């Protein structure tokens, strides 16, 4: 089939990884990026890197550059994005503000959104008293029924306002590729803020607009976004757009089966760079919540093999436990492969580690000796 609006084959997979530049990349984000790129490679599709920096108060200088360097090291290669070019740029949301403003005006005109002039103090008090109208304990829709002349008068007097989604009655149903069919009663959904007083969109509006404009076919993202998805589906319907397929990836757990904390040793991928091979890290991360077809017992995969065998239907619902000992095992297996297949690369790695004074602890002694002997 052909996508009538864009004239492209409907089967062409386009995926995106869309991080916020708020610090170092954590393991969950790394795995999501990996799943996106592997899905694109396995389906001869396109992987897009998009920077979601609409929450300007949390942006950390240099975070994007560090993340791109880490992806380069890990062999995670995007096809479009900052510094890569592409036909759907710019790929940084703070450079796309006019687009979001146009789309929010479209929603206002169609009655799918409304201006809200309530102060932060009133909203905080609403939250404290729990006097929401039952809509998920959220906003009580005080501004929904303001007349047009009243709205224009307040805008003319420079009264700050946000734009809220007008959630319709009924229910919203998602067919997720991992979790199956999920139902929400719309009466339990808050009238989400779409545009903030500073003229920046919230994640909800920006991600939906960008996924449509960038022709994303599959949204592969963390399970923590599942509760927000009905609002996104309501937005797609309000715009009259066909939504992409959604693939929500289970969260990572620590050894106590609690959600992986950012303080966990494996949480920051940058901290693992010093001690493991990029192929080992990718292999290990891929196995956190994914199984090969036919439940193959094979565990050790080169990057090329992962690209050949990865499929979205291999992603599990059950949340995987992060095991650093297993990462060490994967690292040893990939080091052994290097000894057999690419000893010159191993020599360079060993020499670099020895220069840092970490070679003894990071590389099994038998492999050190063999690699240095090869050198």
- Token pair recorded at residue 96: 């796309």
Question: What are the helix (H) ranges across the chain?
Answer: 27-42, 63-74, 97-110, 120-129, 148-156, 203-213, 229-239, 269-273, 278-286, 303-309, 324-341, 343-356, 359-362, 365-374
- Token pair recorded at residue 65: 């550059």
Closest CA to 222 of 27, 61, 69: 27
Asked if 252 contacts 28 with a C-beta cutoff of 8 angstroms, the reply is: yes
Q: How many residues does the chain have?
A: 375
Active site residue 262: yes
> Burial letters for 226-264: b for 16+ Cβ neighbours within 10 Å, e otherwise?
beebbbbbbbeebbeeebbebbbbbebbbeeeeebeeeb
- The one catalytic residue in 262, 293, 348, 356 is 262
Asked if 10 contacts 1 with a C-beta cutoff of 8 angstroms, the reply is: yes
d(CA 98, CA 110): 19
DSSP letter assigned to residue 302: -
Give the number of other Cβ atoms within 10 Å of residue 37's Cβ: 28
Closest CA to 79 of 50, 109, 116: 50
Query: What separation, in Å, do the N-terminal and C-terminal C-alpha atoms of the chain show?
Result: 55
d(CA 373, CA 347): 9
Asked if 91 contacts 82 with a C-beta cutoff of 8 angstroms, the reply is: yes
Q: What is the dihedral of CA 116, 119, 123, 129, to 10 degrees?
A: -130
Asked if 327 contacts 299 with a C-beta cutoff of 8 angstroms, the reply is: no
The catalytic residue positions are 262
């Amino acid at each position: 089939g052909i996508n009538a609006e864009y004239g492209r084959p409907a089967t062409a997979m386009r995926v995106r990884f869309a991080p916020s530049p708020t610090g170092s990349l954590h393991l969950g984000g790394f795995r999501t990026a990996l799943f996106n790129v592997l899905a694109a490679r396995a389906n001869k599709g396109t992987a897009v890197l998009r920077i979601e920096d609409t929450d300007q108060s949390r942006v950390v200088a240099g975070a994007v550059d560090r993340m791109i360097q880490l992806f380069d090291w890990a062999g995670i290669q995007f096809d479009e994005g900052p510094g890569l070019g592409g036909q759907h740029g710019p790929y940084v949301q703070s450079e796309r503000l006019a687009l979001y403003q146009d789309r929010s005006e479209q929603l206002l005109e169609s009655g799918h959104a409304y201006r809200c002039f309530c102060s932060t103090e009133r909203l905080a008090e609403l939250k404290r008293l729990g006097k929401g109208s039952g809509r998920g304990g959220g906003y009580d829709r005080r501004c929904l029924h303001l007349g047009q002349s009243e709205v224009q008068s307040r805008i003319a007097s420079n009264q700050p306002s946000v734009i809220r989604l007008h959630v319709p009655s009924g229910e919203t149903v998602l067919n997720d590729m991992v979790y199956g069919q999920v139902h929400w009663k719309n009466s339990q959904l808050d009238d989400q803020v779409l545009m903030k007083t500073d003229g920046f969109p919230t994640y909800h509006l920006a991600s939906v607009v960008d996924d449509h404009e960038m022709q994303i076919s599959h949204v592969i993202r963390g399970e923590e976004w599942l509760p927000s998805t009905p609002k996104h589906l309501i937005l797609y319907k309000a715009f009259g757009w066909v939504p992409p397929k959604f693939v929500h990836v289970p969260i990572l757990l620590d050894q106590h089966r609690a959600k992986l904390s950012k303080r966990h040793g494996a949480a920051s991928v940058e901290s693992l760079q010093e001690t493991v091979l990029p192929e080992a890290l990718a292999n290990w991360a891929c196995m956190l919540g994914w199984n090969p077809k036919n439940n193959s017992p094979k565990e050790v995969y080169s990057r090329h093999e992962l690209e050949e065998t990865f499929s979205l239907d291999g992603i599990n619902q059950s949340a995987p436990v992060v095991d650093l000992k297993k990462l060490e095992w994967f690292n040893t297996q990939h080091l052994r492969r290097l000894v057999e297949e690419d000893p010159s690369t191993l020599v360079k790695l060993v020499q670099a580690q020895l220069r840092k004074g970490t070679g003894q602890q990071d590389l099994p002694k038998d492999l050190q000796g063999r690699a240095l002997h090869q050198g």
